[in-house]
């Protein structure tokens, strides 16, 4: 199995084979070009197109109250169940740019439709980068025209490179999934490193498959996958304006995945693992991140568990301790206390890397040297058990989060908006 599934928290499904190379699933072509949006001169416009008019799709977007222009255009002008083409620029978020920004996002959609030969309402647009700076639509249009001449079936890597901003490394994968009805291929390209907080992150993620899905099945698969992946991560507790996740299914493999079938169950498992691993890569990138933490909070009230898990994941004190390799369980306790002010006193249990450090709200003896060594790795596991009423079922909430480093402060002190 490829190193793609390299976290102990994400199991590689039995039916999945990780593939090398840049070939997209059947029926897709993509490209990435430099259009001069980034001062670095690196690629900054990506174009992806599905050749079949029967392509189905699904999409999810940020829940921020401040929506970037491309998100508004997608939500109001795009058939989200039948997206044929995706046009993306990096280096400029086209967010908080007023009416002119809306015009540029609509122009971007129209230009992509023209160069790809598809209807405008079947084009999704996305932008990522600096907020509050007008997007130069001429550069985007020229970039899309240039990208249309570079479209190729092995454009997976080029498209993925074009969507990166502060990412230190590419976040992408190619998988083959053995379904009862036959093999299908999935590719995905994602970006994100900072301003990450559900729901769901300053991230873009595009997934392509040659499986044949109806739109309702595609929507269900993407929605379920996002809830267990991008909606479960935090780098800095900040909510972005541009978050976009899109799944497209070309159907070119001829393998039909019927709702409720064994094929759907296996494809769901593969997509779930793919998105969870990509989400972990975003957290690992984390603008200066050294370590990734996972907190699981168990209790008998889902809202309480969710609130506590996010409080721990977003606590600067917890994140700083994670960065320093310090198993300071008092940081965990204070974060839970902040989330449970109406339930005091909370007799919680805490374990770090499986080692009990707190029971019923009080310290318990443990081997400090051994625990210090256990939290020195790149992944650190935390668990919190809240008091439960007798006989009530237990629920749990899981959040993955990055540490808080000196480099994070440096990056965001020097990065405009």
Answer yes or no: are the C-beta atoms of 69 and 102 closer than 8 Å.
yes
Q: How far is CA 100 from CA 114, 154, 259, 283, in A?
A: 21, 35, 42, 33
Angstrom distance (rounded) from CA 235 to CA 402:
5
Catalytic hit among 62, 185, 202, 217: 202
Torsion of CA 43, 36, 68, 49, to 10 degrees: -50
Sheet with 204-209: list strands edge to edge.
Answer: 16-18, 171-179, 182-191, 204-209, 244-249, 56-61
Judge whether 141 counts as a catalytic residue: no
Q: Residue 209 contacts by C-beta under 8 Å, 6 or more apart in sequence?
A: 25, 184, 185, 186, 187, 247, 248, 249, 250, 267
Helices (H) and strands (E) in the chain, counts: 11, 17
If we measure between CA atoms, which residue out of 318, 335, 336 comes closest to residue 327? 318
Sheet with 292-299: list strands edge to edge.
Answer: 233-234, 395-402, 292-299, 379-385, 349-352, 355-359, 362-363
Q: What are the tokens at 60? A: 């999810």
**Burial of residue 414 (number of CB atoms within 10 Å: 0-12, 13-18, 19+):** exposed
| Active-site residue set | 202
């Amino acid at each position: 199995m490829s190193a793609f599934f390299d976290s102990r928290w994400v199991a590689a499904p039995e039916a999945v084979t990780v593939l090398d190379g840049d070939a997209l699933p059947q029926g897709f072509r993509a490209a990435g070009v430099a259009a001069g949006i980034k001062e670095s001169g690196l690629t900054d416009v990506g174009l992806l197109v599905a050749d079949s008019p029967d392509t189905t799709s699904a999409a999810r977007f940020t829940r921020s109250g401040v929506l970037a222009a491309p998100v508004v255009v997608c939500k109001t002008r795009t058939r989200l169940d039948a997206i044929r083409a995706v046009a993306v620029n990096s280096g400029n978020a086209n967010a908080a740019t007023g009416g002119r920004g809306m015009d540029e996002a609509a122009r971007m959609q129209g230009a992509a439709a023209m160069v790809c030969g598809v209807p405008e309402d079947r084009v999704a647009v996305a932008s990522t980068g600096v907020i509050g700076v007008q997007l130069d639509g001429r550069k985007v249009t020229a970039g899309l025209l240039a990208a249309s001449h570079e479209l190729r079936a092995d454009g997976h890597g080029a498209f993925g490179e074009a969507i990166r901003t502060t990412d230190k490394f590419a976040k992408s994968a190619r998988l083959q999934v053995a379904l009862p009805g036959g093999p299908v291929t999935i590719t995905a390209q994602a970006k994100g490193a900072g301003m990450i907080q559900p729901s769901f992150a300053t991230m873009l993620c595009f997934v392509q498959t040659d499986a044949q899905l109806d739109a309702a099945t595609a929507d269900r698969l993407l929605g379920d996958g996002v809830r267990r992946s991008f909606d479960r991560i935090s780098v800095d507790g900040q909510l972005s304006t541009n978050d976009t996740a899109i799944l497209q299914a070309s159907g070119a493999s001829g393998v039909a995945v019927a709702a409720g079938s064994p094929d759907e169950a296996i494809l769901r498992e593969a997509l779930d693992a793919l998105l969870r691993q990509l989400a972990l890569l975003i957290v690992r990138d984390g603008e200066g991140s050294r370590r990734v933490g996972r907190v699981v909070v168990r209790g008998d009230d889902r809202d309480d568990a969710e609130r506590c898990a996010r409080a721990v994941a977003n606590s600067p004190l917890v994140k700083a301790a994670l960065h320093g390799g310090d198993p300071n369980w008092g940081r965990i306790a204070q974060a839970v206390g902040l989330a449970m002010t109406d339930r005091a006193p909370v007799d919680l249990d805490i374990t770090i890397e499986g080692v009990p450090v707190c029971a019923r709200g009080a310290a318990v003896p443990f081997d400090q040297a051994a625990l210090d060594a256990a939290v020195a790795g790149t992944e650190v596991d935390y668990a919190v058990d809240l008091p439960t009423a007798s006989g009530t079922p237990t629920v749990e909430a899981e959040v993955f989060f990055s540490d808080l480093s000196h480099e994070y402060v440096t990056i965001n002190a020097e990065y405009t908006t």
